[in-house]
Amino acid sequence: MAVPHPRPDPAADAGPAAAAATAPFVSVRDLTVRFVSRDADVKVINGVSFDVLKGEVLCLLGESGSGKSVTMRTLIRLLPPTARLGGTVTIDGIDVLGLPRNDLKRLRGSLAAMIFQEPMTALDPVFTIGQQIGEALVEQKGMSWADARARALQLLELVQIPSARRRLDNYPHELSGGLRQRAMIALALSLSPKLLLADEPTTALDATVQIQVLLLLRELQKELGMATVFVTHDLGVAAEIADRIGVMYAGRLVELGAVAEIMDAPRHPYTEGLMRSTVHAGMRGKVLDAIPGAPPDLADLPPGCAFAPRCRSVREHCLAVEPAAETVGPGRIVRCLRHGDDPAYAASAPLAIG
Amino acid sequence: MTLAVVPENPRLPVSADPRDRGGPMQPMLLVEDLKKHFPIKGSLFSPSRAVVKAVDGVSFEVAKGETLGIVGESGCGKSTTARLLMHLIQPDAGTIVFDGDPVGVVRGIPVDELQRNMQMVFQDSYASLNPRLPIADSIAFGPKSHGLPKSEARERARDLLGMVGLNPRLFAERYPHELSGGQRQRVNIARALAMHPRLVILDESVSALDKSVEAQVLNLLVSLKDRLSLTYLFISHDLNVVQYVSDRVMVMYLGRVAEIGPVERLYEAPQHPYTRALLSSRPSMDPRRRVSVPPLSGDPPNPVNPPSGCRFRTRCPLAEAVCAEIEPPLAALPAFPAHKVACHAVAAASGHSGTAVPV
Ligand SMILES: Nc1ncnc2c1ncn2[C@@H]1O[C@H](COP(=O)(O)OP(=O)(O)OP(=O)(O)O)[C@@H](O)[C@H]1O
Ligand SMILES: Nc1ncnc2c1ncn2[C@@H]1O[C@H](COP(=O)(O)OP(=O)(O)O)[C@@H](O)[C@H]1O
Ligand code: SF4
Ligand code: SF4
Ligand SMILES: [Mg+2]
Ligand SMILES: [Mg+2]
């Protein structure tokens, strides 16, 4: 983290020309998600916009409840019926939010696949690994069972499961945690998705297994050229796998940029606070520079900037005006009045927090 | 949220502790050869009853006022060790000595007194609180059931809320579901402190918290420890957090101690191949210097049937013939007596060619 001269990401450097050459594979604009029930209407995503290019990993980073999973699930509309969506989501030219319900299955299988923290979310306990991957291939790709089994074996080898042939006939519960995670990844890859959605896939794993699975995912993603959205709350994990990072806070994307740039020089006060307070070597004996307070209640967001009650740079202006997303460099977006060209921030009085 | 605004509480002990029995040199906790084997149901085809060797001969000590960190992968026996110390489950073998008094023997310290002196905070901030009780009542419950009058117990609960950074006027009457995870974990810490313990076992107590909140709770734990002269046993899978809070660190693998030593020494010069792998499995925190090869392959083996000899040998890059035959004893390094390692490659004249160069 303490590299003196940040090398800008070459893709970001090339600017708009490069962006035009590679049209984004995923494009999200002004996404809003509300959960509406008889006695509540909670706005959990409040205007999120980002792109993901082919072959690129975008990490969504943020604390619990900030909206990472909901944002990601919206990409394949894997949300309960109480969800009300606004804005647009385009994947490979398809208008996802306008898609009829019947077409969602195709979207989820061959265009986009999802992997989870808990592999049993995706795996069925009563079928063997081989049966589950085989069935996906037979049903969705029209393969024969013999071909499907051969392909399933290839997939288990691809995710580096030892004694893959034997593992085909194992039930999920017969596998260790790390192998089950790999089997879930194999299942997700079975329909050759162009977009991989990963929701904290290594969070529940042990240190020595987490790094194995993380490196495997990194390898597969490069090899298969999948666009990837990777949700994590762990800065270290993002540093290992992300090309770009999007930092979420209270249902908004507050900072977006190349991984090295964000880690070298965070611009949003929340990102700054997150990095300062993340425990790493060499902090022994020092009081940690924690962010005070707790994330806001999404059902009762304050007016102005949602981070204001915890922000060191808060000024009176922040309580009144909701910061807009500002481009502050090539591919770099920050939602904070301190970085906007709004003279009212500079003119207004600093406030004390804590 | 800062502690500075909290008024000093005269009712809680500060430094010279009248409960001290063995004197400053007597370890707070001495654990000798602790064992717990859980029987698991045999199936129709293998009726012989197998056992999980969850804790299989663990010895260590915790000095007064120190923080001993315990690390290791899931299933290595950290929580079982903690539950054995608390006597929530009965050990199959081994001795536990608390401030000089053996536990659970004639003329030793009785289990209920031990449980008052030793409190535990768990990972799941919900599970340990009664959802139908206001949090102040949950905190007051322990002292009340030990005979403290109701009003005094409530008073103590309110003081403790203040001490963990929750304004009692705003929080005392709230229910657990009306709090954030970090606030609930503060309540759990207050609840553990309500019994005025001397030793607190923190089992993954900050693991479920968000990073920004984890830092607050770590600061709180460090300052409480100073103010109340506490001794901590800090269990976590997060090597960075353990490095931050611990004075000494113990590394466990499949129910055994692989290595134990002062924190700086263990992180700068780890000797056991497992400790080395564990430390280099940490993400780099630098996108320009990413980890390129996983230090270990495979998952930890099953503790039902641990490998013979050294339990780490199935994943160890330095394994030799002797490692399959003889279980390496936990032995002090001649040059660093406080640093103990269980590995043939480090021990002299072990029959191993000694590829691990002691640093
Ligand atoms: N009551 C029980 N019956 C059978 N096996 C048990 C029981 N309690 C624990 N075990 C087993 O003992 C071993 C050690 O468990 P323990 O929970 O102490 O590990 P841990 O290191 O704390 O793991 P984690 O980090 O996942 O909590 C595991 O294999 C576990 O499955
Ligand atoms: N089915 C649902 N009904 C109501 N609220 C929900 C639902 N799913 C998620 N939420 C809320 O949406 C917010 C964002 O959730 P999520 O995206 O899961 O957060 P995370 O960043 O932890 O993944 C949270 O406040 C959560 O409580
Ligand atoms: S807008 Fe104001 S309160 Fe919000 S992050 Fe920026 S400086 Fe802080
Ligand atoms: S005793 Fe042998 S197998 Fe065990 S850690 Fe040492 S070298 Fe590796
Ligand atoms: Mg989530
Ligand atoms: Mg545990």
Domain boundary among A170, A192, A214: A192
B298 and A178: CB-CB below 8 Å? yes
Residue A69 belongs to a domain: yes
Q: Quick one: pLDDT at residue A223?
A: 94
Q: Quick one: pLDDT at residue B46?
A: 58
Do A82 and A206 fall within a single domain? yes
Residue A156 belongs to a domain: yes
Helical ranges in chain B per DSSP H = 78-85, 111-117, 135-145, 150-163, 168-171, 181-193, 211-228, 239-245, 263-268, 273-280, 321-325
What CATH number should be reported for the domain whose range is B29-39+49-129+176-346? 3.40.50.300
A207 and B291: CB-CB below 8 Å? no
* pLDDT above 90 (res B323): yes
How many angstroms is it from A352 CA to the middle of ligand 5? Answer: 32
Q: Quick one: pLDDT at residue B345?
A: 95
Domain boundary among A192, A220, A254: A192
- The residue range of the domain holding A188 is 121-192
- The Cα A273–Cα A317 span in angstroms is 20
Do A52 and A186 fall within a single domain? no
The closest ligand to the CA of B78 turns out to be 1
Do A82 and A102 fall within a single domain? yes
Do A65 and A126 fall within a single domain? no
The residue of chain B with its CA nearest to that of A162 is B298
Q: Please tell me the residue having the least CA distance from ligand 4 atom 3.
A: B313
Place of tokens 């959802």: B131
Return the domain boundaries, chain B.
29-39+49-129+176-346
In chain A, the number of structural domains is: 2
- The Cα A210–Cα A199 span in angstroms is 14
Which is more confident, A301 or B62?
Answer: B62
- The Cα A36–Cα A58 span in angstroms is 29
Do A221 and A282 fall within a single domain? yes
Do A249 and A324 fall within a single domain? yes
- The Cα A238–Cα A245 span in angstroms is 7
Do A141 and A215 fall within a single domain? no
**Chain A interface, mutation test: which of B211, B264, B291, most A Cβ atoms within 10 Å?**
B211
Q: Quick one: pLDDT at residue A19?
A: 44
Taking alpha carbons only, the member of A278, A86, A94, A341 closest to residue A195 is A94
Can you say how many angstroms the Cα of residue B300 is from the centroid of all Cα atoms in its chain?
20
pLDDT in tens, B213-267: 889 999 999 999 999 999 999 999 899 999 999 999 999 999 999 999 999 999 9
- The Cα B58–Cα B36 span in angstroms is 10
Do A253 and A296 fall within a single domain? yes
Do A278 and A253 fall within a single domain? yes
Helix, strand, coil fractions of chain B, as percent rounded to 5: 30, 20, 50
Residue A227 belongs to a domain: yes
Do A282 and A145 fall within a single domain? no
Do A140 and A258 fall within a single domain? no
Q: Quick one: pLDDT at residue B128?
A: 81
Count CB neighbours of A178 within 10 A: 23
Residue A151 belongs to a domain: yes
Beta strand segments in B225-350, E? 231-235, 248-253, 256-262, 331-333, 336-341
Exposure b/e, A122-149, CB count within 10 A at least 16 = b? bbeeeebbbbbbbbbbeeeeebeeeebb
Residue A7 belongs to a domain: no
* pLDDT above 70 (res B15): no
Whether residue B294 contacts residue B313, with contact meaning beta carbons closer than 8 Å, is answered with no
CATH number of the domain encompassing residue A342: 3.40.50.300
- The Cα A212–Cα A206 span in angstroms is 10
Do A338 and A232 fall within a single domain? yes
Q: Quick one: pLDDT at residue B4?
A: 35
Domain boundary among A192, A209, A229: A192
- The Cα A113–Cα A228 span in angstroms is 10
Q: Quick one: pLDDT at residue B133?
A: 94
Residue A326 belongs to a domain: yes
| Sign for the pseudo-dihedral over CA of B83, B87, B88, B91 | positive
A311 burial type by CB count under 10 A (0-12 exposed, 13-18 middle, 19+ buried) = buried
Per-residue pLDDT of chain A (354 residues; tens, 9 = 90+): 343 443 344 444 444 444 445 689 999 999 999 999 888 899 999 999 999 999 999 999 998 889 999 999 999 999 999 999 999 999 999 999 999 988 888 888 789 999 998 898 899 999 999 999 999 999 988 999 999 999 999 999 999 999 999 999 999 999 988 899 999 999 999 999 999 999 999 988 889 999 999 999 999 999 999 999 999 999 999 999 999 999 999 999 999 999 999 999 999 999 999 999 988 888 888 999 999 988 888 888 889 999 999 999 999 999 999 999 999 999 999 999 998 777 899 999 999 875
